[in-house]
Each structure stands twice: as structure tokens, then as C-alpha cells.
Structure 1
Amino acid sequence: MTQPFVIIQSILKQTKVLELVQLIEKCKKSDRKSQQALYNMYKDRLFALCLKYCKNRAEAEDNLQDSFIKIFQSIKTYNGKGSFEGWMKRITINRAIDRYKKEPFIEPITDQHLKEDTTVDIDEAPISLQQMLALIQELPSRYRLVFNLYELDNHTHVEISEILGISVGTSKSNLHRAKLILKEKITATRTTTQKNSIVNG
């Protein structure tokens, strides 16, 4: 990439950052137009996050609205340190967690049970990302939360235990059960896909 293009890209990036800072400051003053602009700017990305943590589209939509209400209520506390989008994502995830946190979590299982095979052969008929998301959404809420926090957001079991208010052992057992259920669902989905392919030629 030539030097002029690098300079242009740098200027555009700085301009976008400045525009976002100005937008945030206006939102801190409860400016409705700025709030709408911020909502339009981030709604799709945050909705994708809601879909990951909620069990269906309707709950994801509710969680998105709850999250933006919380974002606008708390935006004065954002001090500019760290990613603004990351700050909003944490609020969105926390709203989803609060939605299911009161549900009972399964008690820890034995180490012997944790040795059950939960691996999936990736060389078999693949499933789409959309199918995988749908299967994760079908998990019981307590399993889905732990699975997403551990596998998709890279939290440790210690961190998950603090976030959800459960023991490390309970976090491990919920993750293990989530993987067992997903393995069964993936196998069933692949079987159905293969049968449909044979029928349709």
C-alpha cells in the first residue's frame, strides 16, 4: 500500500474516532438524535451478540432493548478508557446473564463423568454456522451461558464461577453437559442433512 493511501486511511480512522467521541458526549447529555444514531450504529453487532446468549430471536430482541436502556443510563460512567464497543458488549452480555441467572444450576459431577467423550469429528458432513448457532440456542439456559462464556468468550471456570455465582465444579459440569448435548444434536443434524441429500439426489 502506497504512502498516500496509508495517510488517507489514518485520517479517516481519526475522523471516525472523533465523530464517535462527539456522539458519546451528546448521548451523555441525553440528546435523542445522538442516542438514535448510536443505536443505529451498533444495533446489528449487539443483536448478533444477543442471539448468541439468548434462547430465541424474541428474547434476543428484548435483551437488545434492555441493553440499550442500560447503556444510555450508564453512558455517563464511560470515561473513554478502553473500547467503547467492548464496554457496550459487557453490558449486553450482563443483561443476558441476569435474565437466566436465577435458574438453578446443576451440581458438580464426578471426574469420571467428565471423561466422557464430547469430541466431534470435523471430517464428517459439516454444518453451517447458522445451524450451529441454532443448536447452541436450544441448550438449556444454564448450559448455554457456561458454554458461551467458556468456549466463545474465553473465560476461565474461575471467572465463570464469579460471573454466575456458582462453584468452579458446577461450571465444569454444566460445560460438560452442554458439550454432550451439542454432540448429540450435531450428529442428529448431520444425519438429517445426509438423508435429505440422498432423497434430493
Structure 2
Amino acid sequence: MPESLRNLRYDLSIIASWVRPGTRVLGLGCGDGDLLYALKRHKKVVETGIEIDEAQVARCIERGLTVVQGDMNEEVKDYPDDFFDYVICSQTLQQAYDPSGLIREMLRIGKHAVVSFPNFCHWRIRLQMLASGYVPRTRELPYEWYDTPNIRVLSLNDFRRFAGEVGFSIRKEATINSRDIRVTGTEVGFLPNLRATYGIYLIGR
């Protein structure tokens, strides 16, 4: 992996390592475009992004990225089948009002899809809730219950069960420990639903 990709946030560097050079990539909720920028620069992908925040879209455009402002839940419906090689939804699934519908659309317009999200069943979250009696706040989930953009919370086990219920396959996964914007982290193999802060999944039809 190029050194510049290693300088990405740890979870994004794992996603970048899964993307083949020269492919077409759509980033849903792409933020300021760090992942798309790295993929465009170092893997020569043809990038497109969808982001709802106007300031973030402006930042992406300043970086030379092709990004449209809009609701990812609606914008994905405008693309034809198999238009992209990869559709990436990084730490945004928990903000989708219809996760199953969104994933179906991702797999309709993309040959591969990548999904990542914070694990709400990490041991620190369980302990904080047990000890305090309040909805937990962590570095991965730093909001109060009344101002969080996360309308759903899920665990790694929830996602695996969800895959079976919705009918998509998990082709590759990485369960990791990483703190927010840090470029370092570790993969968790033992008891990941208890010990991993994030899950990253390459999924297919």
C-alpha cells in the first residue's frame, strides 16, 4: 500500500486496500472526500461522491473531486444497474432511514459494495451503560441522544444477521480497534463483537 494511503484514517486505509486500481467508485456520505481523493490520486479510480453537507461538498470540489450535494438515499436511485465497480458507505449506514433499501440500491448500481459502522456492542459501551444508566458517549459515538445523526445503532452480530435476512453475502470483513481520526489501529480476531470498535464489510449479491 502506498505510504499516502497509510496516512488515511485507519478504517479508510483498509477500504482503500480493497479497491482495485482504475475502477469506478461511488462514495456515499463521502464527507470532505479524504478516501475518494486518495483513491483518485494513487489508484487512478474514476470517483463520484454524494454528500448532503454543503460545506463538505465545497471542500471536495476544491480538491478536484466529482461530488454532488444530495441525500444518498434518494440520489442512488438515479444510477443504472452495475454503473460502478464499488459503492462505499463508510460510517454512514447507521444514519440511513432505510438501511435494507440502501444496501439493495448499492448492490444494484455497484458490482461490489463496502459498508462500515461503529460497533454499539463494544465492551466500553456496554460497561458505560451498565455503570451510569445513561445512553453512552464514546469517541466513536460522541453525541447526546438528542443531537445524534445516528438514527440506528447496531453491532457486528446484528449486521451479520441482517445480511442473512436481507439476502446479501459478506465476502470480506475487517473488525478493528481504532480511535476516531487515528491512522493506526489493530484488527480484532478474538471476540470482535465485544472488542472491536468498528466493522468493515465487503458485500455482494
Q: Which has the larger radius of gyration?
A: 1
With normalisation by structure 1, the TM-score equals: 0.23
With normalisation by structure 2, the TM-score equals: 0.22
Structure with more helix by fraction: 1
